[in-house]
Amino acid sequence: MRNEINNSLRITLFPLFVLLTLNFLFFVSDVYAQPKQLTDTVKRAVLAELVRSVSENVELNGIKFLKGLETLDDNCNYSITSIAMDGYNGPNKIVYLVSLGDEHKTVRKLHVEASFDVLTSVYVAAKPLSGGTVVSGDDFYSVKQKNSRLPAGAITDIGEIEGKRLKSNVAQGVILRANNFGNSQGMKKSREVTVLVEGINVIISTRGVLSNDPPVGGAARVLCNASKKEIAGTLISQDTVRVKI
């Protein structure tokens, strides 16, 4: 009789046990799926804002949640209601204030750090080139490279290559630089350039006009278009001066 009762209890309780186990597994899956889904959504929104405000050639290296993630409810579904820049957190790092809304119209705010870089076209020798060669379109090709990793003197303007004469041999696969060309030793004053002003927690891009004739890699003086003040920096490429403050 006792065995029959135990068997009956097992038969009755087993489906309930299976149901509770499945509910537990589904609950845990929902809880842990939400952060990844949220991260992907925020990444897409941050990238769209970077493309809009920085450059269409921007590359998002990653995001980091600084504040606010702990206030979210794992059981709620969130959508982004707004995103706005909230300052810099270092070179090529922008902090965004991201507002989230749930199905109950409760608004939560996240502080998110975005690490990014801007891609620039540089030009690579398609074959071995001898000194004295007048470079044409078949002699090189373009590739995108991160601004932060551009070699000093790398040419980013195709007009500085086509029809120009090499002053020395260049091996296949080498990025073309200003010092490869006999007429590219220095830049003439009055040429407009991009000025990158870099501080500990900020990087600002502006435009200005060269006040001297600096070589690539040399000291440059620039009269800024906006402030009408002259600042000093380093000419890091044909059209870019870096100023550290």
74-108 pLDDT, tens digit per residue, is 788 888 999 999 999 888 899 999 999 888 888 99
Which residues pair with residue 86 across a beta bridge?
none
DSSP run (H or E) holding 22: helix 2-53
Instruction: Work out the pLDDT band at 200, boundaries 50, 70, 90.
Output: low
How far is residue 201 from each of residues 92, 131, 227, measured CA to CA in Å?
Answer: 9, 44, 21
Q: Report the CATH fold assignment for 186-245.
A: SH3 type barrels. (2.30.30)
pLDDT at residue 175, as a whole number: 93
Domain parsing of the chain, residue ranges: 2-118, 126-185, 186-245
As a whole number, mean pLDDT of residues 124-145 equals 92
Task: Give the confidence band of 244 by pLDDT, cuts at 50, 70, 90.
Answer: confident
Beta strand extents in the chain (DSSP E only): 58-67, 79-88, 93-101, 107-125, 140-146, 192-198, 203-210, 219-224, 230-237, 240-244
**CA R_g for the chain:** 29
- 126-185 is classed CATH 3.90.1210: yes
Whether 186-245 and 126-185 are alike in CATH topology: the answer is: no
Identify whether the C-beta of residue 219 lies closer than 8 Å to the C-beta of residue 229: no
Structure tokens at 17: 């046990």
Lowest mean per-residue pLDDT among 22-36, 50-64, 191-205:
22-36
128 pLDDT higher than 90:
yes
The proportion of the chain whose per-residue pLDDT surpasses 90, expressed as a percent, equals 30
135-188 tens-digit pLDDT: 998 999 999 988 888 888 889 888 889 888 898 899 999 999 988 886 444 566
Query: What is the pTM (predicted TM-score) of this model?
Result: 0.56
More confident residue, 158 or 9: 158
